[in-house]
Amino acid sequence: MEISSIPFANQEEYSYFYSFFQELDTDHTTISDILPTNKRRKIDATTGDNNASLKEILNKISFMDDHDIPDFDFQIPDSDFGSETVELDRGRVRKTPPPKFDATATEESSSSSGCGGGGGSGQQRRLWVKERSKGWWEYYNSDECPDDEFKKAFRMSKSTFNMICDELDAVVTKKDTMLRMAIPVRQRVAVCLYRLATGDPLRTVSTRFGLGISTCHKLVLEVCAAIRNVLMPKFLQWPDDERLEEIKTEFRSISGIPNISGSIYTTHISIIAPKVTPAAYFNKKHTERNQKPSYSTTVQGVVDPRGVFTDICIGYPGSMSDDKILEKSALSQRFNIGYLKNIWIVGNSGYPLLDWLLVPYTHQNHTWSQHSFNEKIGEVQTTAKDAFMRLKGRWACLQKRTEVKLQDLPVVLGACCVLHNICEMYGESMDADLTFDLFDDEIVVAEDGVGKSANAVQARDAIAHNLLHCSHGGSGFR
């Protein structure tokens, strides 16, 4: 690409010429006095006096100043362009090789009378596109790439990846334009999954896929939005009655407690301190552990025995405790209006004891029945905690402070939860080296906390009593 400025007079030079010719007129100095002989003859033949010459020159300068002429001209060398170009750099002449251009760049023709000072050259303009290597993605998108290697990069097998592409095809597909070819659906989905899976900077993602940095960022947000709109209704929903009975049976085989329909847990996602209300997102526990200011947002999720999310609540500030987030969530509202009945959700000591929420005993000096109950509740709670460990282990973008804007973050977090469910449902195992330990501090809710009803206390005591009898060969639950 050659950039050359147009050497037209600016305002300062214009004033200089004007004063120069005024001085000539004042001193009665003729143009012929300062020009060579041969130039003198030509001027004498074409004009009769100095005033006419002065007016003609000034009119020409004014004419050029009135026209809008572009400052730069971007051109692509044609085929007969030399093997080397000469450019001026601070008075020095250096030789540099000609720039490389994408051979597939689309041409934009301009007429001989074209716009923007095209003049009458009839020259064509071309769209300049930076040439990037797509070798890495072409290898992973080919049959030569083994399935294990593909899974290491995208956290899922090729068959699961193909299913996601087919589901999102109608929403993600873009049409070709006159300027360039649209990015294929598979590449769009791959950019998003790779960014979520590795947490690599956008510059690295750009190099891998041969795309611009801003393009990769835009693709991540677009595909995450498509996952939320298209795949979430299919892969992340509260179970129907038939599936709910299966969940109750599976949880009872784990804990011995009937009517458990889910295990709840809340994790924190580190974020950059927001400009608006940063105190609301300040995470005191993480700050004390890391010895530096930490800010976070939260993800609350309910899982089934397989570790599949059946309900999520995303986006509340990190300064809020688990019980406050639960109180504001849609899950709590559904139980309060009686939409969900005769089922239990199991939580840790960071949640209050409710008519539908079982939590362990937190006071000291437990009885045998209370100790047994806490052990069984802990086994159910482990299901949710392990699910969140796999969530963050698969999608490494959740392990460190995210650079996604706060208003876009819920869409990205929701997409990660949906992709987690797909991997769990399709039996995608996770490599042992991806294991991630959670650091979510629980703020223990007091036994006499607000919201605990007498019915909930009696129900928990009855369950604890029956568990002890069942473990010693008693009649158990009926």
* Per-residue pLDDT tens digits for 72-81: 333 333 333 3
pLDDT value at 119 more than 90: no
Distance of alpha carbon 33 from alpha carbon 49, whole angstroms: 13
Radius of gyration of the chain (CA): 36
Instruction: Tell me the sheet residues that pair with 2.
Output: 75
> Which pLDDT score, from 0 to 100, does residue 63 have?
46
pLDDT, average across residues 95-120: 43
* Other Cβ atoms closer than 10 A to 369: 19
Tell me the one-letter amino acid at 452: K
| Rounded-to-5 percentages of helix, strand, coil across the chain | 50, 10, 40
Q: Cβ distance 230 to 167 under 8 Å?
A: yes
The CA distances from residue 271 to 156, 201, 388, 389, 434, in Å, are: 26, 15, 18, 18, 22
> Which pLDDT score, from 0 to 100, does residue 123 have?
60
Distance of alpha carbon 205 from alpha carbon 215, whole angstroms: 10
User: What stretch of H or E contains 317?
Assistant: strand 309-317
Q: How far apart are the first and last CA of the chain?
A: 82
Domain boundaries along the sequence of the chain = 11-66, 135-234, 236-471
pLDDT value at 332 more than 80: yes
pLDDT, average across residues 160-177: 94
What is this structure's pTM? Answer: 0.72
Q: Which band of pLDDT confidence, cut at 50, 70 and 90, is reported for residue 95?
A: very low
Q: Cβ distance 148 to 429 under 8 Å?
A: no
Distance of alpha carbon 256 from alpha carbon 251, whole angstroms: 8
